[in-house]
Chains A and B, each alone.
Chain A
Amino acid sequence: SQELEQSPQSLIVQEGKNLTINCTSSKTLYGLYWYKQKYGEGLIFLMMLQKGGEEKSHEKITAKLDEKKQQSSLHITASQPSHAGIYLCGAVFSGGYNKLIFGAGTRLAVHP
């Protein structure tokens, strides 16, 4: 979606390194979702953020929504090969019927 820009498009890191993926919106976000997709499979929910400044963690993955609710970052600490896959941010822009759209995704490879 052009309304959501993810960066970088792809990332290769050494096992044990930290990394950050960004998701930027052209409009104020009502809700922001992070999903992970393993190649050839469906999307797995990681976490949802709604409030400006909100931060959530799941195991070694932390995601934050900025105060203006137009950008989110996902940070992985001490990456492992199991973190490899495609990370997608999804957003809802309105409080009515929730149209959930996604960014293009970030492909992450973790080398041992």
Chain B
Amino acid sequence: DAGVIQSPRHEVTEMGQEVTLRCKPISGHNSLFWYRQTMMRGLELLIYFNNNVPIDDSGMPEDRFSAKMPNASFSTLKIQPSEPRDSAVYFCASYQQVGALGTEAFFGQGTRLTVV
């Protein structure tokens, strides 16, 4: 398996534009997490899915953020409209929950988003 694949690796966009980040998790994993990392706030959990269903989106900062997981092999995180304070590195992580506790979470390489 090629691991968790995120695209694009880098994104520069103008304020007000729509941004879509993509993630392909590891095949067979049943959980997927989206995180945002900044110097000020560290690694924040935005939303996570289990069996393609959103379980907890309490970390999504505003209604401008939305995430979907239409099937087990694909997820998107969308920001519309984007703002300069959304600039950060966004990570997707794939996880297999086995019983009460899962295996390690595998992280993608991240998408570095810059909103100017």
Report which A residues bind B (CB closer than 8 A): 1, 30-31, 33, 35, 41-45, 48, 50, 88, 90, 92, 95, 97-105
Q: What separation, in Å, do the CA atoms of A103 and B43 have in the docked complex?
A: 7
Report chain A residues within 8 Å CB of B4.
Answer: 42
- When the two chains form their complex, are residues A95 and B43 in contact, meaning their CB atoms are under 8 A apart? no
B56 at the interface (CB under 8 A from A): yes
Q: Which residues of A contact B55 (CB under 8 A)?
A: 97, 99
Q: Please report whether the interface of chain B is mostly helix, strand, loop or mixed according to DSSP.
A: strand
Taking CB atoms, residues of chain B closer than 8 Å to A95 are 100-101
User: Is the Cβ of A105 less than 8 Å from the Cβ of B43?
Assistant: yes
Interface contacts beyond A43-B91, A97-B56, A99-B56: sample of 16 additional A-B pairs, CB < 8 Å, sorted by A: A1-B45, A30-B100, A33-B104, A33-B105, A41-B109, A42-B4, A42-B91, A42-B107, A42-B109, A45-B104, A45-B106, A95-B100, A97-B31, A98-B31, A99-B55, A102-B45
Contacts of A43 in B (CB 8 A): 91, 93, 107
Q: Is B108 an interface residue (CB 8 A)?
A: yes
